[in-house]
A and B are shown apart, each in its own frame.
Chain A
Amino acid sequence: GAVVSQHPSWVICKSGTSVKIECRSLDFQATTMFWYRQFPKQSLMLMATSNEGSKATYEQGVEKDKFLINHASLTLSTLTVTSAHPEDSSFYICSAAGQVVEKLFFGSGTQLSVL
């Protein structure tokens, strides 16, 4: 099956720093990528949808200046958490969908801890 690689798996940073998370589709072209946030033992909360070459569409309540999303190529999308604070600590997951395959493939997630 298709593989989506998410990096890093975990990151610890100081409050005020920015953190970049990468999501790569390894064996297919991802025209659409989704970014989610998840708290322990809870469901996925969609943050934004990104299409290659265009601006991301953010869900209500998600600060677009706080969570910068770039989908510059058909195989790579990045989420940058700017000026991270402890309340941004969470598990972030990406998923990718190809042009033909009507399925979502998920990355393995990034655990962000902001001190």
Chain B
Amino acid sequence: TQLLEQSPQFLSIQEGENLTVYCNSSSVFSSLQWYRQEPGEGPVLLVTVVTGGEVKKLKRLTFQFGDARKDSSLHITAAQPGDTGLYLCAGANAGNNRKLIWGLGTSLAVNP
């Protein structure tokens, strides 16, 4: 069974601080997606990384896919209260890239 270990599970920081969320697996994924979800809403796709070693930036968010495509990280610079939410990573396999393997999620609270 493929697993995605996501850490930390909970994170509470002050506005302006930096943070990194990690997703690790012993399995190789064809791609990995990061989502952000607010309470009472469905997840919203932030980014998809496909190539080993790939780095993508979305404003203050930096996403990296490991060289071996087994792990990924999300780094937020100068966090703001608007970044508060549940961050989810999800990995896809080449054979069935619609049935995602989900991490457990990171609940982030950014305090003003």
Interface of A toward B, CB cutoff 8 Å = 4, 6, 9, 32, 34, 41-46, 49, 91, 93, 95, 97, 102-104, 106-109, 111
Number of A-B contacts (CB under 8 A): 48
Q: CB-CB < 8 A to A109: which residues of B? A: 40-42
Please give, as numbers and ranges, the residues of chain B lying within 8 Å of A91 by CB-CB distance.
40
Query: Is A97 a contact of B98 with CB atoms below 8 Å?
Result: yes
Shortest distance from the beta carbon of A23 to any chain B beta carbon, whole Å: 10
- B45 near A: Cβ within 8 Å? yes
Return chain B residues, CB-CB under 8 Å to A9.
Answer: 40
Q: Is the CB of A43 within 8 A of B40?
A: no
**Roughly how many angstroms separate A79 CA and B111 CA in the complex, as a whole number?**
38
Contact B88 A44 (CB under 8 A): yes
A43 to B102 CA separation, bound complex (whole angstroms): 7
A93 surroundings in chain B (CB, below 8 A): 42-43
| Closest-CB distance, A56 to chain B (whole angstroms) | 13
CA A33 – CA B6 in complex, angstroms?
A: 25
Pick from A6, A43, A46, A107: contact of B88, CB under 8 Å: A43
| Cβ contact of B98, chosen from A42, A44, A104, cutoff 8 A | A104
Can you name 24 A-B residue pairings with CB atoms under 8 Å? A32-B98, A41-B86, A41-B107, A42-B104, A43-B6, A43-B102, A43-B104, A44-B88, A44-B102, A46-B99, A49-B99, A93-B42, A95-B42, A97-B98, A102-B97, A103-B45, A103-B48, A104-B98, A104-B100, A106-B42, A107-B42, A108-B41, A109-B41, A109-B42
> Total interface residues on B, using CB and 8 Å?
20
For the complex, what is the distance from the CA of A34 to the CA of B43, rounded to whole Å?
A: 13
Which of B40, B44, B97, B103 has its CB near the most chain A CB atoms (within 10 A)?
Answer: B40
Residue of B with least CB distance to A42: B105
CB-CB under 8 A from A95, the residues of chain B are 42
Query: In the docked arrangement, what's the CA distance between A22 and B41, Å?
Result: 15
> In the complex, A43 Cα to B41 Cα: how many Å?
13
Task: Give every chain A residue within 8 A of B99 (Cβ-Cβ).
Answer: 34, 46, 49
Q: Looking across the interface, which residue of chain A has its beta carbon closest to that of B10? A: A41
